[in-house]
Structure 1
């Protein structure tokens, strides 16, 4: 090990916390108060009349829900009509992103352009709506009320048809639907009202399978299509869609037996047998993997079929033993053991079983037992920008709460026109969404079947990356215990556990403890990106398969890991280690920031409650505090016909970029200043009330004229220590 430069840990010991000082200038308003009054008076009257016309059963507490859209200039977290809502007796119950062309703009360059803004879901009774009309028509206003009124773009009542997503079946049969209600933990009366309303339309709301996440309640509903349109008039129904099927594997991808490849299982146990990864799939049904895998199944998954077991075995085998490169290759020793949850049965994905599967996963992860999990399954449907799916909302909160690194297959419909966008829960911000590369060689590209991004904003860079998943040209070769043979397969189902195996390899290869978010950052940091391929296709790039490659520094490069918590009301100054030698030539900094964010699923546009503002100061060592762009929108967002809001990138959970510098004094004691932003219920919150969040920063530095930069940094920063390698002899590079 003496001749190898290893990842330098304890970077967080170099950081210092500083108080945040804020300055903000006056804001321009696009409309006068009279213009706002003229624009929304009639629509507000329509809201009041529509609410009055609703049957009592469709408006629990006598309340209805309508939309209030803000002008795009007031999308930042500090803009929210809090005073208006409080004075009128209204309340917000959620938000979504909307693209509009506003009537007037504050910047002439935006005239006539489509811009992203926030639409708030507002709840209240008739008297509260009447109070809002009174506020609007008053002759004088307090300063804050007038300011908030001038931030409003439009108000709209939500018609039934606007709550339906997807095509409804064209028949009179009962079908299953998934419904999201504006109903949080203390709003069972809203749920009960909805269930009764469904019964009155000859349907059934399956409350036994309801799932509450944040301010939403997800419920399976049985009804005819005609009845579902009527049921959508319930004012607290946010969205309804036909129940999607469950995906586990590409139905047209053949499994080929590779009889000349290795079939002998390793003779040794896992390196870390006391650690377990949770794999949720179709089951094992055999004892072949019992030295490393324990299977759990349920009463309703006791019966199964060969296709499900094949998939479950291959996914588990991929995580345990990896894949085979050639006929001379051997199955590798597992890093850790597996708890395999057989959550699928032959009828899974039909009727409300999509909810059954999620509830099983939720129960297992809520045990707090797992740091690693893989899901090569999920609803077969493209994600929606306006709505967060039950799978995404539930699993994002679990990963944040329990510090879980989850790998999620993004789906195999990448070659299906109109349905090729990533599938839930691949839009999670606290997981790694994995697509598939077609080849294991340097000439790789996205596999045609691998679903593409972008994700929602925040969470725009999706998939997070790709891993080899097989193709017709080069199948993914994995041992299948049921067949007693190595088989050639393909799919994102295999790319996901292959990536989780790499992460587990890093965690098991060193006693240096890394959080789930640090492992995610390390994978992104070392991903191989091809600039000629769209980020929508491959995210941050192709993930490494070799765990040790991420623990070793290349010649002439020093890589340092920072991990810890971002605290309330402070920014963290992270020095970028450089030796005390003037940099006169070319230098490069590669940096990756990740946080494990708290989420608000009812607020799709402001889904993450946690964000980070990162300021790069290249010359702090010379006493110069001026900043320079490092992470900007262009490192993540494509500027297309859709105009992204200025602060969108501050709410992303992953930032990554490589920056080159050239010339004397271009870098003198550079630092990153990280500000932790917080918001709740779609508005800014006091920093003192915001929960701390886990963060990780991976930074690599190199300079052409300092070839021995690694040792010089170690000499200057003695607190930085190389991570130790505990199973080095088993890892090949």
Structure 2
């Protein structure tokens, strides 16, 4: 049998902690203290006056909310105005990104449009009044006062500005209301206060279904458009919007239902690994369907009978996970695992204005009582993602996925042909989850692929810019995606959409797990899927990191001149870990390609969408251990080798915090790049990884660990035994990841 060079594992054994000294000099402020006082005094007085004019019932326990917009030069987590807020008796309860042209920039530079942060601050009306009346006498030496130079604007959130656009058709409207309330405060007294306020408007809400995420409470209320602005006067309301409809990602290609169906023989064996736990949330499977050989259907008691449309979608999605796109000329592949299929849809989407929360409630209940390694969603709110607000679906799912133990794929939606001027073609909620893989569709399963026109496009929110993460074949008019028919499971039906490319992508992830067992965790499998994606000369906002690998070989097998290694490690907050790139000793011949992908799961702050991820890993690449900067007279020898850019197009050392936020790399929880080097320029190259931790947009000093997965591939065409040389050099540290079962790796994915 020919030698097979399997993926190398245990890369984390090569890592070590290092100390890196960083930091700069004092920061030049755009405003002097006296300038800041003069600018902010009239704003403060106006805010205090508007808050005082609010109805008492709209200010529960006399609390109100205002906004503070930071100058764009002060959006780094280290500049959070905590001392100022503490001094005036206020608390930051949320934020959102905002574009502003500041009145001034530091060092005499011309003001320009820039990204900044708008904070929602919460406190007693008396605290706002006291701050406004005493502010004129402030000295820059009193507690917190020096931070006023960081503020660009103080304002009052008008009720009309809290309401997202909706059409008033004269009927009552079900609104989704988002409040500044964490679960403990809400359940103890604030929810009762809000109910009491609504009662004064003759609105009697049920609040049976509510969701908490970070510092937000998501509720549904029904009222008329006439009363909407009065509801929005309630000081703790962050945003109101008409409840979106639920989207079942209906096929983009519809069968006429009368044409002859192609018959196919189903496998007569169980799955490759019966122990993998997979869940699909969709429209249901008939209990006597042929798929039930590998799929177990579940549904909530008391649900309406499933419609033909729901069952067709549920069977198609589950078929795509079990078999991928089916080639009628080839035998069906053995499924990689069993799957639990949960019917979470009660009726055809769009019939019930309360269905969105009903479905999310079902999904949340299932996830909190069952632990799954792989999940897929090909449904969600029928609404493109919003840069300013995080939806309940995204917040709930990201919180569940934050431990990195579950690989989730979510379809991005089939609205890619929507109006780009109003961003109606943008990826849809909840595919903006940073801890999931957002999957789009391409038009063919083989060469010369493009984004399928219907596949929704990015970018995602920042952080989380790269959405979709990946694409896979989803079908087209000329070449439909083939699944088992929902009525006769021995026949095939043509269909198409991101509903099917998403579970097909999850299928490959489950295949990696089935073949390699527990040697690769869910985070490592996600990293490998992105790392091995096939790039094309297409915009990233259309196809993300690329099309997923066509076969398992592309992920887990190396040619003789290629080395691929997986690191599954952890890092402590504020610390640095040095990750060496395994190479043979001596000088490498010719040109060398290095590809690296770093992923981690992270806790999130949904009430701070611009600072959504709580963890950031900054990576510094040092290609040559002997290349150091020149030492000036009186300086000590540099501790570390000179760094070069690896992830990103410009040197991060030269970027401001604003520029880092613009390109979104600092807090992205997945980065990927390929770079070419002369072999002679590489001398014990390393990545230094630094863990930045933040909470609610400012420094988080808790002692905590973050799990990460890093995959590195080195390709040296002129070093024909590169793989073997690396294996010999690191024989006591790296391990070849051998499959736990014998499989025909050369069989291409259908």
Aligned residues: 722
CA distance in 2, matches of 1:663, 1:370: 44
1:61 is matched with 61
Normalised by the size of structure 2, how large is the TM-score?
A: 0.93
Change (3 A) 1:218 1:53: same
Change (3 A) 1:199 1:483: farther
Decide which moves more: 562-571 or 65-74: 562-571
CA distance in 2, matches of 1:19, 1:644: 23
1:574 is matched with 579
1:692 is matched with 705
Change (3 A) 1:621 1:10: farther
Shift of 1:310: 0.5
Pairing 1:452-467 to 2, within 5 Å after superposition: 452-467=457-472
After superposition, what is the alpha-carbon deviation per residue over 1:224-253, rounded to whole angstroms, capped at 9, x for unaligned? Answer: 111122101111111111111111123663
Shift of 1:190: 2.1
CA distance in 2, matches of 1:602, 1:193: 21
The gaps in structure 2 that reach 5 residues or longer are 629-639
2:592 is matched with 587
Shift of 1:472: 0.8
SS at match of 1:217: strand
CA distance in 1, matches of 2:364, 2:348: 20
1:253 is matched with 253
CA distance in 1, matches of 2:444, 2:108: 48
2:632 is matched with none
Pairing 1:538-549 to 2, within 5 Å after superposition: 538-549=543-554
Is the contact made by 1:617 and 1:627 (CA closer than 8 Å) also made in structure 2? yes
2:522 is matched with 516
After superposition, what is the alpha-carbon deviation per residue over 1:255-307, rounded to whole angstroms, capped at 9, x for unaligned? Answer: 36785645222100011112220100000023222221111101343422000
Is the contact made by 2:138 and 2:145 (CA closer than 8 Å) also made in structure 1? no
Q: Does 1:129 align with 2:128?
A: yes
Pairing 1:138-153 to 2, within 5 Å after superposition: 138-142=137-141, 145-153=144-152
CA distance in 2, matches of 1:621, 1:286: 66
Shift of 1:512: 4.8
SS at match of 2:410: strand
After superposition, what is the alpha-carbon deviation per residue over 1:558-578, rounded to whole angstroms, capped at 9, x for unaligned? Answer: 100001222233211100011
Change (3 A) 1:704 1:135: farther
Is the contact made by 1:5 and 1:552 (CA closer than 8 Å) also made in structure 2? yes
Pairing 1:322-361 to 2, within 5 Å after superposition: 322-325=324-327, 327-346=328-347, 348-349=349-350, 350-361=352-363
CA distance in 1, matches of 2:359, 2:412: 17
CA distance in 2, matches of 1:260, 1:208: 46
CA distance in 1, matches of 2:539, 2:664: 20
Counterpart of 2:608 (choices 598, 603, 623) is 603
Q: Does 1:87 align with 2:92?
A: no
Pairing 1:623-638 to 2, within 5 Å after superposition: 625-632=641-648
Pairing 1:27-426 to 2, within 5 Å after superposition: 27-106=27-106, 111-133=110-132, 136-142=135-141, 145-167=144-166, 169-188=167-186, 189-250=189-250, 253-255=253-255, 259=260, 261-287=262-288, 288-325=290-327, 327-346=328-347, 348-349=349-350, 350-401=352-403, 403-417=405-419, 418=422, 419-426=424-431
Q: Does 1:654 align with 2:655?
A: no
After superposition, what is the alpha-carbon deviation per residue over 1:646-686, rounded to whole angstroms, capped at 9, x for unaligned? Answer: 6841110000000111263x110000011111001211121
Decide which moves more: 497-506 or 327-336: 327-336
CA distance in 2, matches of 1:537, 1:634: 23
CA distance in 1, matches of 2:675, 2:374: 32
CA distance in 1, matches of 2:56, 2:217: 21
After superposition, what is the alpha-carbon deviation per residue over 1:412-442, rounded to whole angstroms, capped at 9, x for unaligned? Answer: 1110113110111110000000011011121
Change (3 A) 1:161 1:554: farther
CA distance in 1, matches of 2:380, 2:413: 8
Shift of 1:112: 4.2
CA distance in 1, matches of 2:230, 2:281: 37
2:734 is matched with 720
Is the contact made by 1:622 and 1:668 (CA closer than 8 Å) also made in structure 2? no
**What value does the CA root-mean-square deviation take over the aligned residues?**
2.1
SS at match of 1:275: coil
CA distance in 2, matches of 1:139, 1:313: 68
Shift of 1:499: 0.2
Is the contact made by 1:315 and 1:493 (CA closer than 8 Å) also made in structure 2? yes
CA distance in 2, matches of 1:71, 1:413: 36
Is the contact made by 1:478 and 1:486 (CA closer than 8 Å) also made in structure 2? yes
Change (3 A) 1:663 1:580: closer
Shift of 1:200: 2.3
2:635 is matched with none
Change (3 A) 1:508 1:133: same
Decide which moves more: 297-306 or 610-619: 297-306
Is the contact made by 2:374 and 2:408 (CA closer than 8 Å) also made in structure 1? yes
Is the contact made by 1:9 and 1:561 (CA closer than 8 Å) also made in structure 2? yes
Is the contact made by 2:532 and 2:548 (CA closer than 8 Å) also made in structure 1? yes
CA distance in 1, matches of 2:662, 2:413: 31
SS at match of 2:196: helix
Change (3 A) 1:476 1:79: same
Shift of 1:545: 3.9
Change (3 A) 1:142 1:290: same
CA distance in 2, matches of 1:633, 1:119: 28
CA distance in 2, matches of 1:512, 1:2: 26
After superposition, what is the alpha-carbon deviation per residue over 1:311-336, rounded to whole angstroms, capped at 9, x for unaligned? Answer: 001101111122223x3122211111
Change (3 A) 1:6 1:82: same
Counterpart of 1:441 (choices 443, 446, 449) is 446
CA distance in 1, matches of 2:651, 2:693: 22
SS at match of 2:6: coil
SS at match of 1:34: helix
Change (3 A) 1:198 1:376: same
CA distance in 2, matches of 1:652, 1:402: 15
The gaps in structure 1 that reach 5 residues or longer are none
1:495 is matched with 501
CA distance in 2, matches of 1:224, 1:261: 52
CA distance in 1, matches of 2:107, 2:567: 40
CA distance in 2, matches of 1:595, 1:470: 31
Normalised by the size of structure 1, how large is the TM-score?
A: 0.95
Is the contact made by 2:311 and 2:486 (CA closer than 8 Å) also made in structure 1? no
2:633 is matched with none
